[in-house]
Amino acid sequence: MTSIEITQQRPRINFFKLNKVYYFKHFFDDPELFRELEPYYEKASYRFKMASAGARNKVMKLLDRKGFDPNIIEYPAPYTVEIGKYQNYGELLKNSVESYPLRDKVVLVMKDLVWVEQALVMGAKKQEQQ
């Protein structure tokens, strides 16, 4: 009898390097894990922030041990979209790690490529290269 190894897909969490700081956004339904990560949590932005590579590595190791697949994104352009500031983008804001106004638009760095696709469906466009 042969054994078939079934590997379960680990949830990926993207760590974005933005202005020499690392951010990620994820909802943890494990209160114990959230308590361990709470020192890095920015409540106002609903995201986690690590000011150094050492802190990022510590958090990545913890997430790896807890069954997640941490992934570093150094170039966020593929995750960056823009949408008109008068369009309904609240759902996109909840799923972005960073956002800022730019003229008559809002630029959003989405937490993963699934949300980039969702943003495009909702009327956003890939950000034009500056």
**Widest CA span of the chain, in angstroms?**
65
Cα–Cα distance for residue pair 75/78, rounded to 1 Å: 8
Residues 29 and 51 in one domain: yes
pLDDT > 70 in the chain, percent: 92
Residue 38 lies in a domain: yes
Residues 65 and 89 in one domain: no
Cα–Cα distance for residue pair 47/125, rounded to 1 Å: 23
Residues 20 and 64 in one domain: yes
Residue 54 lies in a domain: yes
Model confidence over 32-46: pLDDT tens digits? 999 999 999 999 999
- pLDDT value, residue 4: 55
For residues 71 and 13, the answer to whether their CB atoms sit within 8 Å is yes
- pLDDT value, residue 9: 87
Listed as ranges, residues in the chain with pLDDT below 70 are 1-8, 128-130
- pLDDT value, residue 86: 93
Residue 37 lies in a domain: yes
Which pTM does this prediction carry? 0.88
Residues 62 and 81 in one domain: no
State the amino acid at position 84 in one-letter form: G
Residues 37 and 66 in one domain: yes
Please name which of 76, 75, 48 lies closest in space to residue 62, comparing C-alpha atoms: 48
Residues 90 and 59 in one domain: no
Residues 48 and 95 in one domain: no
Strand order in the sheet with 80-84: 96-102, 105-110, 80-84, 125-126
- Sequence-ordered alpha helix ranges (H) in the chain: 31-37, 53-65, 90-94, 113-121
- Residue 49: CB atoms within 10 A of its CB come to 17
CATH of the domain at 21: 3.40.1170
Residues 95 and 43 in one domain: no
Residues 6+ apart with CB under 8 A from 116: 78, 79, 81, 110
Residue 102: give the domain boundaries: 77-126
Residues 52 and 86 in one domain: no
Residues 69 and 84 in one domain: no
Please count the structural domains in the chain.
2
